[in-house]
Structure 1
């Protein structure tokens, strides 16, 4: 198998594990509160947690320091705004887990995060190693 493909698959697997822990195991009450407020310390911390863990993934997989820093700053900005948009939508619509629209918004949010990872993996293979 091609080395670039192997590297891309390893980064994908590690980013998926990172995403699960950062989104489902490591969120604090402050990270979960006030999701529709634009300037929000909890969302800043949550997006930073994702970026820090992604930085570790990229470094483990052999990415250069400069590339890792740049791509993780971009991920931080993207993650922050993806979550903010979902928070605004959820606040405005007042949907909860028993509403189908809640799960559609949740699915779109997760899709956007996964597409961010696709872009990160493309950049990693193209520029990071």
Structure 2
């Protein structure tokens, strides 16, 4: 398989991972919980990002097990971005879906997740 074919396959795999982790497997408990003030956000957010990290770990174990640690990177970046987006003291204070102030952080969140995936894909290709 050529590098370009591998990259395209990884883009599709990580896009599916994002859909599964952020939309199909994210429960209402996770969504509500990661928006809590104080330490109450930690467990629901950790469970949510653990789903992502475990899927990334599975991908790494199939394609390059020596890069297992990129699952921890995915966890850390996803945790940080989702907390920034959901925290009532940060972007989470923008809750009106009819306003641009809600959608800009939402788009930023998705962009950061995709850039994380691109870095992971770049690592997979570079270290093949």
What's the TM-score bracket when you normalise by the shorter of the two chains? Answer: 0.7 to 0.9
Task: Name the structure, 1 or 2, with higher relative contact order (CA <8 Å, separation 6+).
Answer: 1
Partner of residue 97, structure 2:
97
Matched, 1:48 2:47: no
Task: Indicate if the aligned counterparts of 2:94 and 2:101 stay in contact, CA closer than 8 A.
Answer: no
Measure, in 2, the Cα distance between the counterparts of 1:34 and 1:46.
10
> In structure 1, the residue corresponding to 2:69 is in which secondary structure?
helix
* Cα shift at 1:4: 1.7
Task: Indicate if the aligned counterparts of 1:96 and 1:102 stay in contact, CA closer than 8 A.
Answer: yes
Measure, in 2, the Cα distance between the counterparts of 1:70 and 1:110.
22
Task: Indicate if the aligned counterparts of 1:31 and 1:43 stay in contact, CA closer than 8 A.
Answer: yes
Question: Could you say if the C-alpha distance between residues 58 and 11 of structure 1 is closer, same or farther in structure 2, counting changes exceeding 3 Å?
Answer: farther
**What are the equivalent positions in structure 2 for 1:1-129 lying under 5 Å apart?**
3-36=2-35, 37=37, 40-60=42-62, 62-63=63-64, 65-67=65-67, 69-88=68-87, 89-91=90-92, 93-127=93-127, 129=128
State the 4+ residue runs in structure 1 displaced beyond 3 angstroms. 36-39
Measure, in 2, the Cα distance between the counterparts of 1:26 and 1:35.
15
Q: Which residues of structure 2 form unaligned runs of 5+?
A: none
Measure, in 2, the Cα distance between the counterparts of 1:8 and 1:71.
17
Task: Kindly tell me the number of residue pairs found equivalent between the two proteins.
Answer: 123
* Cα shift at 1:35: 2.3
